[in-house]
Structures are given as C-alpha cells and as structure tokens.
Amino acid sequence: MTATATVENLVNQPYKYGFVTDIEVETIPKGLSEDVVRLISAKKNEPEFMLDFRLKAYRQWLKMSEPNWPHVNYPAIDYQDITYYSAPKAPAEKKQSLDEVDPILLETFEKLGIPLSEQKRLSNVAVDAVFDSVSVATTFRKDLAKVGVIFCSISEALHDYPELVEKYLGSVVPINDNFFSALNAAVFSDGSFVYIPKGVKCPMELSTYFRINTEGAGQFERTLIIAEEGSQVSYLEGCTAPMFDTNQLHAAVVELVALDNADIKYSTVQNWFAGDENGKGGIYNFVTKRGLCAGKNSKISWTQVETGSAITWKYPSCVLVGDNSIGEFYSVALTNNMQQADTGTKMIHVGKNTRSTIISKGISAGRSQNSYRGLVRMGPKADGSRNYSQCDSMLIGSNAEANTFPYIQVQNNSTKVEHEASTSKIGEEQLFYFAQRGISTEDAVSMMISGFCKDVFNQLPMEFAVEADRLLSLKLEGSVG
Amino acid sequence: MTLHVASTDTVEKPMSGADQDRQAYLAKLLAQRSPDGPSWLGKIRDRALSIVQERGLPSNRDEDWRFTDLSGLYKTTFAPAAQASLHLQDIESLILADAPLRLVFVNGFYAPALSAVDHRPVGLSIHTLVDAAPLAQLGQQQGMTEVFTALNTANFEDVVVIQVAKHQIIETPIHLLFLTTGEEPTVTYPRGLIVAEDHSAVTLIEEYAAVGADTYFTNAVTEVWVGQNAQVHHHRIQREAKTAFHIGKTAVSQDRDSCYSLTSLSLGGQMSRHNPLVIPTGEQTDTRLQGLTLAVDQQVADTHSDLSFTGPHCTAQQLHKCIVDDRARAVFNGKIFVPKLAQQTNASQLSRNLLLSTKARVDTKPQLEIIADDVKCAHGATVSQLDDEEVFYLQSRGLDRDSACDLLVEGFAAEIIEQLPIAQQRQRLLDAVLSEIR
C-alpha cells in the first residue's frame, strides 16, 4: 500500500456523536419574520431593550446579502426553511438543581463525555450545557458565585443582570457587522454569559458544551465574556451534532471584552457533524468571534481545534485597542472528505506596543478544501506594534486543497509584521524512517500530525489537549496509507 | 485557445450613481476610438470591445481593486494621443549605450527616427503593425478578458512584434522605449508581442517614461510566448511622470523546459498598477519574478501578480520589494496557484516592505492556492522600517545617520536593480531611487 492510501484509510473514522436524543421538544414553525423574532423574545420573556435590539438586527439583516468572498461552495440557504427556536419541553421554571433536569438530557450529555451530575462531573471544570436553543444546566454556579464570578446562560443573565448585558452586548460585534452576525442578533436563543469581577482569577475552567439535536433547526447562540480589570479566565467550548443528511445552520456570535490587565483565554474544540464522505449533510458553521482588548496590558488568546462541520467560516479576531495589549491565535483546522474550511483570524492593532501572534496549522485530506484567511492591520497609531504569523498546511492525498490568503495592511512604520507559510505532505521517506524503527504507519502518521500541531495543542488546557490529540488521530484514522 | 468571459458577477444589483459615472466614463473613452489597421485585426478588436462593454470598469468594490482607488483616473478626461515628433536629444537620458537595438514609441506610435534597428542579429525579426503578417498569437494569452487588457486590445495604435527564431541566441538586450509627450491629458495603449521560439534566448528591456508630459494614462499590454527550452529575460521599468496613471499587463506563457525571468521596477505614476500573469503550460519550467516598487509623496503603486502552474516539476521564485515613503501607499497581491496536475512544484514567494515614514502604508497579500500534495511551497511577508540596530552599526563605523539610512535603502533596492543587464541603467535607477527618498 502506498503512503497516501494508508493516510487516507486513517482519516475515515465514523462520527461517534451522531446519535439523536429522542426527547420531546418544543419548536416554533419554520421561517423567519418579524413575528418570529418577537415570538422568540416573548418566549424568553426578555426585557424591552432586547426586543429592540433583535428587531433592529432583523431589519438590518433584511438589507444585507450573504458574503460571497469565502473560498467555499454551498447551495443557497433557504432562510425560511429553518426552525429558529427548538427547546426540550420543560416546565417554565428554570431548574434550581440538576435533579430536576430531564434524565434523558443528562444521559445525552454523559454519552457525549460531559457528565453533569454531582458525582460524576469534572472536578475542576464548570460546564454550561446547551441543547438546541436553550441552556439545560450549568454546574458549579454556587462555587463560582462565592468569588463573584457570574457564569450562567445568557437568558438568565438578561433577567438577572440586564444592565451588564445591555452595556456589552453588541459592543464588540455590532449587529450590522456581517450577514450572519445580524441574523444571530435577531434570533439568538441562548448561550453563555461570563462576568469576572475586578481582580478575580477564575478558580476553574469554564466551559460550554453545544449540542444540536433537532433536525432542521438552526443553532444561534451568543456568548459574552467580560473580564474586568486585572481578572483572568479560561473558557472552553465544545460542539457536536447528530448525523442528518440535511445541512444545518449554526451561526453563533462570541464577544469578549478584556479591560485593563485582564486575561481571557478562549479555546474551542469544534466537532460538529461534518457530513458523510460524499458531503451529504453536516453543519454549516458560520461563526463570528471577536475579542476586544479594551484595556491596557490586556490579553486575549484564541485556541481552536476545528475538526467538524461541513463548512467552517470563522475568523476569531482580536481588536487590540489598549496599549501593550496582546492578541494570540492558535489554530488547528482539519478537513477530510468533502469538508470546506475558510478560517483564520484578524488582528487589528489600534493601540501602542500591541503584540499579536498567529499560529495556524491546516491539515486537508480527502477532497476537502482548507483555507487560511487572515488579516493583520497596523493602524496609524499602533506605534511599536509587532505581529508574527505562521501558517503551515499539510496535504494528505492528491485531491485535497490548501490555500492561504494573508492580508497585511500596515499604516505605521514603527511596527513590524512577519508572515510565513509553508505547505508540505507526509513523505514516504518519513514513513519509511518510522517503519525502520518498528513503528507502524498509523502510529507514525499520528505522531507526525501530533508533532505538526504541537504548537497549538500546547496552548489548550491540559485535559483538552489530550482530548484534541485523540480526536485528531481518530478523525484521521484511515486516511494515511 | 478560446477566449471566454467568466461570469463571476451574476448578481444583478441596481446601479448606483458611481456605477453610472463609470459607465459614462467608459462610453466616453470608447467613443474616441479610431482604431485602424489591417482587417485581420478587426475581429480581435471587436471581441475585446464587447468584453470591455460587458465587464465595465472596476471600482474598489471589486476584490482585485479593493486597495487601489481608481476614482482619480475616472475624474480625468483623456483625449486620444496624437502622433508627435521628438528629437534624439530629447531622449538622450533614456538611451542605453550598451543596448544598440532600440525601438521607440511616442504616444503609442512607432518613431523610426528615434529607433535603432539596423544591426539586427541573425534570427531576430522586428515588426510593427505596418509590416507585420497576421499575428496568430496576438491577444491569445490568458487573462485577455481582464477589462483594461481588453481596452488596450480594442484601442492600441501599433504593436511591436519581436520574434526570435529557433535555436537563436540574441546576445544584446533589446530596448523598448514607450514614451508619452504633450501637454494635454492623453491616453496611450502601448502593445508588445514577444515570441521566443524553441531553444532561443533573448533579453528585453521594456521602459515607460514621459518626455514633457504630466497627466496622462498609459494602458500597456505585453504578451510573451516562451517556446520549449527557450530563455527570456524580461526587464520592465516603469518611470512615468509623477502625475501619470499607468496600468500594465505582462502576460506570459511558458512552454516546457523554458526559463522566464521578469524584473519589474515601478517608480512613477500617481496611480500605477502592474499585473504580471505567468502561465507555465509545460513541464519543468523555471520562473523568476523580481519586483521593486518605490512610492513617495501621495503615490499609489500596486502589483498584482498571478502565477498559475498547469504541469508538474516546475520551479518558481518570487521576490517583491516595496519602499514606501511620505504618504504613499504600496499594494502587493501575489497569487500562486498549484493545481492537482502540478505535482513536484517547488515555489517560493517573499514580499518585503520597507516603510520610511509614519504615514506610509502597505497592503500585502501573498496568496497560495494548492491542490497538489507533493509540492514544496512557501511564502512570506515582512513589513518594517529600517532596523535601528543596523543604522546604529553603520553609525558606529563613522557614517552619519542620513548616509547610513541611504546605504541601507540602497542595499534593499539594489537586490532587485542588480538584476538589470546594463550597468549604466542600474546606476541611473539607483540614483533615482535615492534621490526620491532623500
């Protein structure tokens, strides 16, 4: 067998999160209109300002058109054929304790490796579990409240802390930012809200787990993280969805705000259903993620491991406004079969002495397309700012495609920008070298890939680094030969 | 080879005021057309004209023109350039003693009095439209559907045709000088067709300059056919007037085992754009692209290169440098496309940018699109000012700060300028670069 054939065999692992939970759900009819927006808002019993926000976004959205510049192809999306709200049927009251949560749901999350019950839950990670459109449970809330950290679903935050939400929602990603963020602003159903007060170092990892269950439903969640002066938080999100042969839309918005000396670390392990080997089904993952380093010496770090989704379109960005602020982006994007990914980052340097680092590793196998698209902009006032970018691609099989589109815009001569990129493949010679040492091809490939991605995995919290490594080797199983 | 108009812009949108203005401008430009020439040309021109009309003029909403504002061009009314006579002493500063073969075009018209083509080596044929046989290769390169290229095809007054016969090595460089003269804003459409047949070699210096002209528009196209195992060393020097507009295309196709190198210097023009488009059609070709852009004052200098492989075992190296001073702006977009067929490609691309003032601006986008898996491709980009440590080092050797900076800039520019074949010209250009940034 040739090297390529083995690598290819290695990638074709069945998707093990593809089951559907049979649970009674409450959905609204398909389609989008002003009434639907009002209905969602009413269902969530939201304050007045929220409805205005949604309606404004909806009206903006009507005027906008879908972006056509990404290097991806998909049939036109019928926005009237999507269910914009779907939630497990439950009593109106929000659960006070986990015991009241539907056991089927708990079971579902357990099956996904996210135990929520008291006995089994991970000891140092607080989890907010989002099922279709709503948050079903948040663990460790009381422990977090003791140090003043607010960690809850955004719908709860709207009731309990409306002034905070009103102040920051849409401040980083304005509603008219792009087509999908406007859509999200109009119909978002739930998401996580994190507030770290002044000087607090969050005692544990925070995490949100997103699960799409209902066929034909779109998921539109909104995450808002605010780190006050001198605070610190590490946040992780994970996602899975069942296997359907229709495509599902996931258009999320994530906003991060870091004030003076604050530090936010945001990690994503994305494993949405990617469609079958012929590209049927799968999630369209059209996500807007942006962090604002508003304060001096603040830092926002994005780490992402993108393995799922039929189409990924996301550019976690940092707007470095505060002097001496730092933006980081570490990414591994793996595409296989017919997957398409157009992902990268934007580093907008506004303040003085701001620094950013971009490390992007793309692996494309099968007939997939993997594009890195990044923007580094040095504004006229960003004196002494610095950027270093590195994007490497690895091609497995001769039908995969790897592209890089780095945009570099510099308006200040005291800045320094460096960009490098390379493309390579797993060579037969390298595999032979491993074989000589008695290491099987599969192990060799997974070792090489894990070495290739090491710079990024090192950035993930411990538990998830192991998880990500395993996920990648599972995903690649059967693609190397 | 067939020409087809790609229909990327399918979405019909209502026309805005700016769209209408551009259309009116284009209609005015086209109304001035008085193209004559042999009948075989008619068909090519008609096709080009319909492409221009179908596509319309771009604006900065088109991805290819996002960073370069054409509104200055669209605000100026250009008359068609008329024949003008210049004397040898007018162009003395442009003549190269070591390039005895010289073809001069003034306002797009061939000027035999200024040219020197008497001592033509064996195997080299030089023609203009008057004495050229029907040119099967004219307008056949890829990328001819790009609107400004088609505009040139529909309008050019004359063509310089240089043909090198099989197995002929032309030792002396051929100097092509495209000049614009006259007070009024005029538009010229210089056109070149270079055919290097199999196993031949030729060196070209293509130069654009002004003699007593300020605001004008040069829309140039050069097509180059590199035959099997042929070598073409192409040097393109754009030294238009500071207030001129320049849009140029260099379309190249390379047959198997051929070498093509392009050194492209861009110094003049308030808005200038160069689109090198190289398509190696055969296997095992070698391509070198070197570029230097100098932009000062309020200049906007744009380079959009496209290198699209079609076969295996090709190598390519690209180095593009920009020096930007004052409030000027440099744009670089370098695309390298490696399709599945192009296995064993070895390509590298580097974009290096030097910003000399706080208001200078660079937009660079080195772009790789790769489908083949057995390839080595790398690209890089750097943007910075002069390194303080380097300046300090030179100062510690007794140079004052200004001379230290000059020396560093000279070194930065020299890497590209040194590729030019004639010493006299190298010196002229280095001096020009230094005098601009002082």
Q: What is the pLDDT of residues A162-221, one digit of tens each?
A: 999 999 998 999 988 899 999 999 988 888 899 999 999 988 888 888 777 777 777 888
Distant-in-sequence, close-in-space partners of A315: CB < 8 Å, separation ≥ 6? A288, A289, A343, A344, A345, A346, A373, A374, A375
Which chain A residues are Cβ-neighbours of B371 within 8 angstroms?
398-402
C-alpha atoms less than 13 angstroms from C-alpha of B17 in its C-beta half-sphere: 0
Instruction: Say yes or no: B335 contacts chain A, CB-CB below 8 A.
Output: no
Candidates A401, A412, A414; nearest CB to B371: A401
Banded pLDDT at A16 (limits 50, 70, 90): low
Q: How many CB pairs under 8 A join A and B?
A: 115
pLDDT of residue A329: 94
Across A325-329, average pLDDT: 94
Distance from CA of A72 to the nearest CA of B (A): 13
Candidates B364, B370, B385; nearest CB to A403: B370
Distance from CA of B61 to the nearest CA of A (A): 12
Dihedral, A62, A67, A73, A77 alpha carbons, nearest 10: -10
Banded pLDDT at A5 (limits 50, 70, 90): very low
B110 forms beta bridges with B105
Which chain B residue has the Cα nearest residue A418?
B382
pLDDT of residue A21: 72
B178 forms beta bridges with B105, B208
Span B7-64, pLDDT tens digits: 344 444 456 677 888 888 888 888 887 767 788 888 888 899 999 999 889 988 888 8
- C-beta separation of B240 from B210 below 8 A: yes
Q: Which of A346-355, A414-423, B115-124, B382-391 has the highest mean pLDDT?
A: A346-355
Give just the sign of the alpha carbon dihedral A21, A24, A27, A30.
positive
Distance from CA of A412 to the nearest CA of B (A): 5
Is the pLDDT confidence value at A473 over 70? Answer: no
| A window 60-99, beta carbon within 8 A of B | 65, 69
Domain spans in chain A, listed from the N-terminal domain onward = 18-321+329-339+356-361+388-394+419-425
Which chain B residue has the Cα nearest residue A399?
B371
B161 forms beta bridges with B127, B193
Give just the sign of the alpha carbon dihedral A463, A465, A471, A477.
negative
State whether B363 and A65 contact (CB < 8 Å): no
Which chain B residues are Cβ-neighbours of A419 within 8 angstroms?
366, 379-382
Least confident range from A107-111, A253-257, B261-265, B284-288: namely: A107-111
Q: Where are the beta strands (DSSP E) in A47-173?
A: 86-88, 125-131, 134-138, 150-153
**Cα–Cα dist A346/A405, whole Å:** 12
Single-letter code of the amino acid located at A257:
V
Q: Where are the beta strands (DSSP E) in B83-141?
A: 101-106, 109-110, 124-127
**Cα–Cα dist B379/B337, whole Å:** 12
**Cα–Cα dist A330/B84, whole Å:** 61
**Cα–Cα dist A481/A355, whole Å:** 41
Q: What is the mean pLDDT of chain B?
A: 89
Which of B64, B383, B385 to probe the A interface (max A CBs under 10 A)?
B383
Q: Which of A442, A335, A448, A428 is nearest to A6 (CA)?
A: A442
**Cα–Cα dist B175/A157, whole Å:** 74
State whether B383 and A408 contact (CB < 8 Å): yes
Candidates A69, A405, A411; nearest CB to B367: A405
Span B340-375, pLDDT tens digits: 889 889 999 999 999 998 889 999 988 888 888 788
Ramachandran sector of residue A369 (left: φ over 0; alpha: ψ -120 to 50; beta: rest): beta
State whether A421 and B340 contact (CB < 8 Å): no
Q: Which of B271, B344, B268, B348 is nearest to B307 (CA)?
A: B348
State whether A410 and B363 contact (CB < 8 Å): yes
Task: Enter the tokens of residue B34.
Answer: 């008085």
Length of chain B: 438
Q: Where are the beta strands (DSSP E) in A309-434?
A: 311-314, 317-320, 326-335, 340-343, 346-349, 355-364, 369-378, 386-395, 401-410, 416-425
**Cα–Cα dist A286/A220, whole Å:** 10
Is the pLDDT confidence value at A289 over 80? Answer: yes
Task: Enter the tokens of residue A221.
Answer: 């969640």
Q: Which of B106, B125, B105 is nearest to B202 (CA)?
A: B125
Across A447-468, average pLDDT: 78
Distance from CA of B256 to the nearest CA of A (A): 23
Question: What percent helix, strand, coil does chain A show, rounded to 5?
Answer: 25, 35, 40
Span B240-292, pLDDT tens digits: 999 999 999 999 999 999 999 999 999 999 999 999 999 999 999 999 999 99
| A window 154-183, beta carbon within 8 A of B | none
State whether A421 and B358 contact (CB < 8 Å): no
State whether A398 and B380 contact (CB < 8 Å): no
Instruction: Say yes or no: B371 contacts chain A, CB-CB below 8 A.
Output: yes
Distant-in-sequence, close-in-space partners of B61: CB < 8 Å, separation ≥ 6? none
- C-beta separation of A245 from A278 below 8 A: no
- C-beta separation of A256 from A284 below 8 A: no
Q: Which of A359, A348, A280, A271 is nearest to A312 (CA)?
A: A271
* H or E stretch at A451: helix A441-452
Candidates A412, A414, A417; nearest CB to B382: A417
Single-letter code of the amino acid located at A427:
G
Distant-in-sequence, close-in-space partners of B370: CB < 8 Å, separation ≥ 6? A393, A395, A401, A402, A403, A423, B337, B338, B377
Instruction: Say yes or no: B353 contacts chain A, CB-CB below 8 A.
Output: yes
Candidates B361, B371, B376; nearest CB to A424: B376
pLDDT of residue A124: 65
Instruction: Say yes or no: A411 contacts chain B, CB-CB below 8 A.
Output: yes
Strand pairing of A134-138 and A125-131? antiparallel
Which chain B residues are Cβ-neighbours of A413 within 8 angstroms?
355-358, 360, 384-385
The SS3 assignment for A307 reads coil
Quote the DSSP letter at residue A79: G
Which chain B residues are Cβ-neighbours of A423 within 8 angstroms?
368, 370, 375-378
Distances (CA, A) of A293 to A229, A318, A329, B99: 11, 7, 14, 59
- C-beta separation of A285 from A210 below 8 A: no
**Phi and psi at residue A351, in whole multiples of 5°?**
-85, 175
Which chain B residues are Cβ-neighbours of A406 within 8 angstroms?
365-367, 381
State whether A408 and B364 contact (CB < 8 Å): yes
- Percentage, residues of chain A above pLDDT 90: 29
Distances (CA, A) of B254 to A105, A266, A284, A318, B208: 63, 49, 41, 43, 24
Instruction: Say yes or no: A393 contacts chain B, CB-CB below 8 A.
Output: yes
Q: What is the mean pLDDT of chain A?
A: 82
- ipTM confidence score: 0.72
Instruction: Say yes or no: B341 contacts chain A, CB-CB below 8 A.
Output: no
Question: What percent helix, strand, coil does chain B show, rounded to 5?
Answer: 20, 35, 40
In the block, which residue shows the tokens 């069942």?
Answer: A242
Across B96-100, average pLDDT: 89
Across B179-206, average pLDDT: 94
Banded pLDDT at B1 (limits 50, 70, 90): very low
Instruction: Say yes or no: A378 contacts chain B, CB-CB below 8 A.
Output: yes
Other CB atoms within 10 A of residue B168 CB? 18
